[in-house]
Amino acid sequence: MSVTLVTGGQRSGKSQYAERLALSLSEHPVYVATAHVWDEEFRERVRRHQERRGPEWENMEEERHLGSLPLAGRVAVVDCLTLWATNFFFDMQNVEEALAALKEEFDRLAAQDATLIIVTNEIGMGGTSDNRIQRQFTDLLGWLNQYVASRADEVVLMVSGIAVKIKN
């Protein structure tokens, strides 16, 4: 079992890096999509991502219970923690409860004998939002990212399409 966390800003190349890494490790990797499709624009984004990946990928969609997916012995890209955390945050409306549930579910996921490549956004590098809900979500994702990074074997920061190894 190994965990690689790939983080960075929006459009930094995180997903493509994760996908290339997965294909270098397996001819038939798994793509785990965590997103809830909210509208047509987002549905189009999902379609473009699926089209880019190609037929060698097995796609699994799961908005919350990642630990229940059959990933043992597989290489899997989990894309992404940000959208996954959003699902818990909006359902629970409480940062502490959502974080506890996310950590518990991540532990179930990481307990599988799988190679996990996990994508997340680094959203805490900008200024402090004047929106209370955004501040709460930034806290939640920051704490979740720290938790996952502390358990990861490798952490990669994507900057303008360039992978910078943070932990290995």
> pLDDT tens digit string along 136-146?
999 999 999 99
Q: Would you state the pLDDT for residue 114?
A: 98
Contact call for residues 84 and 66 (beta carbons, < 8 A): yes
Of residues 45, 58, 52, the one with CA closest to residue 10: 45
pLDDT at 63: 94
Give CA separation, 104 vs 57, 62, 99, 127, 136, in Å: 27, 16, 9, 30, 20
pLDDT of residue 51: 79
- CATH number, domain at 63? 3.40.50.300
Domain that includes residue 49, residue range:
2-167
- Per-residue pLDDT of 25-56, as tens digits, reads 999 999 999 987 878 987 887 777 777 788 89
Instruction: Provide the annotated active-site residues.
Output: 49
Number of C-beta neighbours around residue 133 at 10 A: 11
Please tell me the predicted confidence (pLDDT) of residue 9.
87
For 78-136, write each residue's pLDDT tens digit.
Answer: 999 999 999 999 999 899 999 999 999 999 999 999 999 999 999 877 777 778 899 99
Q: At residue 166, does pLDDT exceed 90?
A: yes
Global pTM reads 0.92
| pLDDT of 10 higher than 90 | no
| Cα→Cα distances 114→81, 92, 96, 146, Å | 17, 29, 28, 21
- Greater confidence (20 vs 51) lies with 20
| pLDDT of res. 43 | 82
**Structural domains of the chain, count:** 1
> Do 114 and 71 contact (CB within 8 A), yes or no?
yes
